Every structure is written in structure tokens, then in C-alpha cells.
């Protein structure tokens, strides 16, 4: 009898919790598809958006957030999921409108996450240029890359630009310039590529005789930053990405005055979680910012997107001639499938008001601080999940806002762009 009453009490408690969450969502929801949308917070140092990669309306959601935040002058920098040099040349695109450059940048940017090497990513950047062109000078966005090096091409290009080759005579630098001019290598840091060998030799030449280079380096800070990031890729670096993102952010903070000029970061959602999943869990970028005292928890805002009735670009197949075909997924892999779904996503689905609905989860008295990991725990029917790791933790320990993205088509590989 006691067990029955306990079980009944638990069911009642859960039902009341679900009811209060639905009421909270109904009172704290925003339609991102309306021109009147204004993001409800401005008091932050950094704000991040992340969602499943490879879906059309993920990019639409990001642009809606950027439009709102730039309208109020709330952000100064845009931090996409890429390295410093690729970001540098995204700035060049925003200034010049060079579409050939943009397509090549998206191709290299997409090496990190192939699902983002898409027509939609390209279109997002053209929309971002239009947005930036309309902003007053004091509110225009600057793109900054803090991620682990993606490919070598644009790092090579920036290195050659920050060194005056009329002053510095170096066969090792000449080989870097020749590689760029030929532009036939894959520029991959992920194996012992020819480009890695050429860059390793260049760094060795510089470190053997730094004074021979220093007289011709136009921007010593940027040069040193590029060298540090190159050296990370000369080691086994697969487990160093999170550490590198954090170190780059801190290393660039004074240059860009990050503490006084807020940023918008677009990363995969793990990097934007504000707490570890379990005591031994890895620390994300946002968690490192909080744990190391860079910012207070409330100064870091995390927005996570969730898909429903949607598809994602899953895989692109190539043959000797290049692009062959691509595969999309609409069940497993979107986070709303009978065998794999986010705990509590049903409440978002019941309270959405458009295909892109933003929900504010944080705030005084929020039911999302109740020790239940809604929207964090992934319920898996046939495989192990993160349930034990996040058990007893609240949603708001990890994120501040949720976006439900509905009826989104899969993105299209950049190779199909006409």
C-alpha cells in the first residue's frame, strides 16, 4: 500500500510539474518569424546558439536571433564555429561581397562539420552581409574565429599576408606561398599531409631564427597566434578542441575587448552547455568560462535549438569525379524520434506558436530549475544515454532558452549550388 501511494504521489508530482512547465512555456514564448521579435535579454557578455547541424531552418533561426540582437546593438562580435584565419576572410567577404571567396570559405568551414558545408550556410552569410551593410558603423559585426584550426589554406594565406616577403627571405616561407599559388593540396591538418609538412618546416625555420622574421612581421600578435594554433595540429590534437577554443578565446580577449563588447557564438550545442554532464564529464567552452571565473553564470546565455518534423543532411558521398549524392535523415538523428528523443520536448511541441518558437526557460521561479533534466537528457531506447550523468540536474543548469524548430527541410550540399 505504501509503495502504491508513493508511486501515485510521484505521478501526481510529475503531472503538476509538467503542467507548470507548459504554463511557463505559454507565458514565455516568442515567435521568431515575426518582424516584431525582440530578444528578451540584453545583460550578457556572451550568448550562444546551437542546434542539430544540416537543417534549413537552423540557419533561419540563427539569422532571426542575429537580426534582433544587432537591431538593439547588443552584440559586437560574431563567433562562428571556425578558426581565426577563416573568420578573418569571412570579414573580407562582408566587406567585398566576393561570392567566389564566400563559396570557398564555406567549403573549408564545412570541413569541421560537413553538414554545414551547404547552400544554406552560404545563403546565411549573404543575408548576414545584407544585415551588416545596413547597420551603423558602431554596430557592425566583426567575425572572430576561436576554434581549433579547420584547414590550413586560410591560415597559410594570412601568414603570407602578415609577413613582408621583400624584407624576409625564407625558402620555407616561399614554399608556403608556392603551395597557395598552386592551390592543389587538400590543406588537411588531420593526417601527415604535404601541407602539414610544409607548414611544420616553416614553423621550424621561424623558431630557429626568429630575428630573421621579426623585422618583416606586420602584425606580431596575429602572427604569434597563428603559430600557436599551427603547433597544436602538429601533435595528436583530436582531444584538444575544447581546450583550444577556450585558450583562443582568452588569448584574444584583450585584443577585442571581449569583456566589454558582447559576442554571439554559433557552435554545436555541447560547447554551449553551462555545466558538465556528470562529475567526470568534459567541460564545454561555456562551462570553462564559468568555472574559470571569466564570467558569472548569468552573464553567459545559452540558446539550444530542437528539431521536430524535420530532416537533416546526414552524409555526402563522393567518387573520383567529386560529388556523387547525399543522404538525409528524419528519424534517428534529429532528437525527436521514438527511439531517440529529448526528455520534455513534448511540452515545447504542445506550446509552440510558429515553426520557430523561442522559449525562455530561466528567470525567477522557473519550473525548469526543479532537478529534472528536461531538454538535456536524451532518452534512448536501444542504446546507452546520458540519463545517469545528468540525473538530478536541472535544465537551467545547462541552458537558458530553447527554440523548437518545426517542419525544416534538410540542407543541400554546396556542390549542388548553381
* Same domain (yes/no): 228, 265: no
What gap in Å lies between CA 396 and CA 388, rounded to an integer? 17
Strand 29-31 relative to strand 77-79, pairing: unpaired
* Same domain (yes/no): 32, 132: yes
Domain boundary among 206, 239, 272: 239
Secondary structure (DSSP) of 61-91: HHHHHHHHHHHTT--SEEE-SS-HHHHHHHH
* Same domain (yes/no): 267, 398: yes
Residue whose grid cell is 597563428: 226
CB 339 within 8 A of CB 382: yes
What gap in Å lies between CA 44 and CA 26, rounded to an integer? 24
* Same domain (yes/no): 274, 380: yes
What gap in Å lies between CA 308 and CA 317, rounded to an integer? 26
The predicted pLDDT at position 418 comes to: 78
The dihedrals phi and psi of 270, each to the nearest 5 degrees, come to: -60, -40
In this structure, is residue 2 part of a structural domain? no
What gap in Å lies between CA 339 and CA 331, rounded to an integer? 9
In this structure, is residue 104 part of a structural domain? yes
In this structure, is residue 372 part of a structural domain? yes
Secondary structure (DSSP) of 102-115: HHHHHHHHTTTSGG
The predicted pLDDT at position 12 comes to: 47
Secondary structure (DSSP) of 229-241: HHHHHTS--TT-H
What value does the CA radius of gyration of the chain take, rounded to a whole number of Å?
A: 23
Residues of the domain holding 69 = 16-146+243-416
**DSSP 8-state code for residue 325:** E
CB 226 within 8 A of CB 202: no
* Same domain (yes/no): 277, 292: yes
Longest Cα–Cα distance of the chain, Å, equals: 89
What gap in Å lies between CA 249 and CA 284, rounded to an integer? 13
The secondary structure element, H or E, covering residue 317 is strand 312-319
Domain boundary among 239, 268, 294: 239
* Same domain (yes/no): 130, 86: yes
Number of domains in the chain: 2
* Same domain (yes/no): 82, 136: yes
* Same domain (yes/no): 320, 376: yes
* Same domain (yes/no): 229, 358: no
CB 392 within 8 A of CB 100: no
* Same domain (yes/no): 390, 318: yes
In this structure, is residue 5 part of a structural domain? no
In this structure, is residue 8 part of a structural domain? no
CB 258 within 8 A of CB 45: yes
The predicted pLDDT at position 18 comes to: 59
Give helix 119-134 / helix 99-109 axis angle, nearest 10°.
130
CB 361 within 8 A of CB 399: yes
What gap in Å lies between CA 265 and CA 272, rounded to an integer? 9
In this structure, is residue 4 part of a structural domain? no
The predicted pLDDT at position 5 comes to: 45
Cell output for 97: 561581397
CB 273 within 8 A of CB 393: no
> Which residue, 303, 312, 403, 392, is CA-closest to 359?
403
| pLDDT, tens digit only, all 418 positions of the chain | 554 544 444 444 455 455 699 999 999 999 999 999 999 999 999 999 999 999 999 999 999 999 999 999 999 999 999 999 999 999 999 999 999 999 999 999 999 999 999 999 999 999 999 999 999 999 999 999 999 999 999 999 999 999 999 999 999 999 999 999 999 999 999 999 999 999 999 999 999 999 999 999 999 999 999 999 999 999 999 899 999 999 999 999 999 999 999 999 999 999 999 999 998 899 999 999 999 999 999 999 999 999 999 999 999 999 999 999 999 999 888 999 999 999 999 999 999 999 999 999 998 999 999 999 999 999 998 888 999 999 999 999 999 999 999 999 999 999 999 7
The predicted pLDDT at position 280 comes to: 87
In this structure, is residue 11 part of a structural domain? no
* Same domain (yes/no): 394, 345: yes
CB 139 within 8 A of CB 71: no
What gap in Å lies between CA 125 and CA 89, rounded to an integer? 12
Distance set, CA 20 to CA 26, 137, 400 (Å)? 10, 45, 17
Instruction: Report the predicted TM-score, pTM, of the whole model to 2 decimal places.
Output: 0.94
CB 116 within 8 A of CB 107: no
Cell output for 282: 568534459
* Same domain (yes/no): 120, 155: no
In this structure, is residue 10 part of a structural domain? no
Domain boundary among 185, 205, 239: 239
Amino acid at each position: 500500500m505504501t509503495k502504491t501511494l508513493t508511486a501515485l504521489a510521484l505521478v501526481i508530482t510529475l503531472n503538476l510539474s509538467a503542467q507548470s512547465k507548459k504554463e511557463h512555456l505559454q507565458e514565455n514564448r516568442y515567435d521568431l518569424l515575426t518582424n516584431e521579435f525582440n530578444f528578451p535579454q540584453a545583460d550578457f557578455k556572451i550568448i550562444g546558439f546551437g542546434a542539430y547541424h544540416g537543417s534549413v531552418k537552423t540557419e533561419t533561426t540563427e539569422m532571426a536571433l542575429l537580426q534582433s540582437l544587432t537591431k538593439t546593438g547588443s552584440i559586437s562580435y560574431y563567433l562562428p564555429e571556425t578558426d581565426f584565419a577563416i573568420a578573418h576572410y569571412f570579414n573580407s567577404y562582408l566587406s567585398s561581397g566576393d561570392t567566389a571567396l564566400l563559396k570557398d570559405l564555406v567549403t573549408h568551414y564545412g570541413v569541421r562539420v560537413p553538414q554545414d558545408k551547404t547552400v544554406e550556410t552560404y545563403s546565411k552569410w549573404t543575408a548576414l552581409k545584407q544585415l551588416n551593410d545596413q547597420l551603423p558603423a558602431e554596430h557592425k559585426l566583426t567575425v572572430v574565429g576561436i576554434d581549433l584550426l579547420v584547414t590550413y589554406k586560410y591560415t597559410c594565406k594570412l601568414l603570407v599576408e602578415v609577413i613582408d616577403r621583400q624584407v624576409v627571405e625564407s625558402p620555407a616561407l616561399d614554399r608556403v606561398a608556392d603551395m597557395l599559388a598552386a592551390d592543389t593540396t587538400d590543406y588537411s591538418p588531420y593526417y601527415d599531409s604535404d601541407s602539414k609538412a610544409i607548414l611544420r618546416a616553416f614553423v621550424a625555420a621561424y623558431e630557429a631564427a626568429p630575428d630573421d622574421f621579426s623585422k618583416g612581421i606586420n602584425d606580431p600578435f596575429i602572427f604569434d597566434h597563428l603559430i600557436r594554433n599551427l603547433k597544436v595540429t602538429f601533435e595528436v590534437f583530436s582531444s584538444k578542441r575544447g581546450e583550444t577554443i577556450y585558450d583562443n578565446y582568452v588569448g584574444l580577449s584583450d585584443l577585442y575587448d571581449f569583456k566589454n563588447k558582447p559576442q554571439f557564438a554559433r557552435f554545436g550545442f555541447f560547447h554551449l552547455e553551462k555545466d558538465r554532464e556528470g562529475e567526470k564529464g568534459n567541460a564545454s567552452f561555456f562551462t570553462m568560462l564559468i568555472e574559470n571565473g571569466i564570467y558569472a553564470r548569468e552573464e553567459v546565455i545559452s540558446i539550444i535549438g530542437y528539431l521536430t518534423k524535420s530532416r537533416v543532411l546526414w552524409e555526402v558521398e563522393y567518387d573520383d569525379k567529386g560529388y556523387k549524392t547525399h543522404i538525409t535523415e528524419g528519424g534517428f538523428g534529429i532528437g525527436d524520434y521514438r527511439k531517440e528523443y529529448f526528455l520534455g520536448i513534448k511540452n515545447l511541441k504542445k506550446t509552440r506558436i510558429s515553426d520557430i518558437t523561442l522559449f525562455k526557460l530561466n528567470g525567477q521561479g522557473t519550473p525548469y530549475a526543479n532537478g529534472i533534466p528536461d531538454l538535456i537528457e536524451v532518452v534512448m531506447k536501444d542504446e546507452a544515454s546520458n540519463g545517469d550523468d545528468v540525473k538530478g540536474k536541472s535544465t537551467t543548469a545547462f541552458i537558458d532558452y530553447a527554440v523548437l524548430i518545426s517542419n525544416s527541410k534538410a540542407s543541400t550540399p554546396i556542390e549542388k549550388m548553381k
